[in-house]
Amino acid sequence: MISRGELKDVYFNKENIDTNVFPFSLPFFRHADKLTIHPKMTFFVGENGTGKSTLLEAIAVASGFNPEGGTVNFNFGTRQSHSALHRHITTSRGIHRHTDGFFLRSESFFNLATEIENLDIEDPELKNLNFPEPPKIMDAYGGVSLHEQSHGESFWSLFIKRFAGNGFYILDEPEAALSVTRQMAMLVRMHELIDDNSQFVIATHSPILLAYPGALIYEFSELGVQKVSFEQTQLYQSYASFFQDPSYIVKQLLNL
């Protein structure tokens, strides 16, 4: 559960910071003072290593989420790998208060699924005392262990079963386990949740998700971060170039 106003701005606090040290050496931190966040949909795009996931993680931690993902109620850690950036950003928020929230971090989703199973293990002492069985956390994810579903199905269960609406959802590469058709279906699901007063901040490499109408898109690069249109992103231009003549592009890449 989360009860905070919608995210409006993220400010970068640079006092007494060595910008030659990661993560403060990242171009977006060095060249920008703040990012404005859209009340419905904001995307971070760019090449690997430009800092989009690092910033997304910092926003999640600064918003009260567990660094490895989940809701604000999760408090587990398999390896402390998050950066110190969350201590050097300030967020401003609006008056609308979200009542749901989730941080999806694709690389640690397996750990999250394991934590859900661990929390749902029955206490044999309580069972012997005939206490009523409490509801399981897994029920909110479709009632089936996320480990007993394919990677894609477990992600899809999260979007369909767990996301309740009026939520603040931070997603790091949610397309990682989804087919093209499921990514299209995810557009529909995101739109349903946005119609139910939800706000998304997403780091992605998916041109399908990026096509969401009216989204605010920030492109991260070695030059910093800038606001761009869908068609201006390097992601869109690379896909468009490839599909214009895939045979030619492949031959050029393979020197055939």
pLDDT in tens, 71-112: 766 554 555 555 689 899 999 999 989 999 989 876 545 455
C-alpha distances in angstroms, 53 versus 57, 100, 171? 6, 22, 9
Residue 116's φ and ψ, nearest 5 degrees, are -60, -45
Q: How far apart are CA 44 and CA 224, in angstroms?
A: 12
User: Are 106 and 173 contacting, i.e. CB atoms less than 8 angstroms apart?
Assistant: yes
pLDDT for the residue numbered 113: 55
Q: Residue 144: pLDDT above 70?
A: no
Q: Is the pLDDT of residue 141 over 60?
A: no
HEC string of the chain? CCCEEEEEEEEECCCCCCCCCCCCCCHHHHHCCEEECCCCEEEEEECCCCCHHHHHHHHHHHCCCCCCCECCCCCCCCCCCCCHHHHHEEEEEEEEEECEEEEEEHHHHHHHHHHHHHHCCCCHHHHHCCCCCCCCHHHHHCCCCHHHCCHHHHHHHHHHHHCCCCEEEEEECHHHHCCHHHHHHHHHHHHHHHHCCCEEEEECCCHHHHCCCCCEEEEEECCEEEEECCCCCHHHHHHHHHHHCHHHHHHHHHCC
Please say if the pLDDT value at position 127 is more than 60: no
Domains (range + CATH), the chain:
4-254 (3.40.50)
**Average confidence (pLDDT) over 183-210:** 96
Tens-place pLDDT, residues 166-187: 999 999 999 988 899 999 999 9
Strands 167-172 and 216-221 come out as unpaired
Place of tokens 């170039």: 241
**Structure confidence at residue 46 (pLDDT):** 95
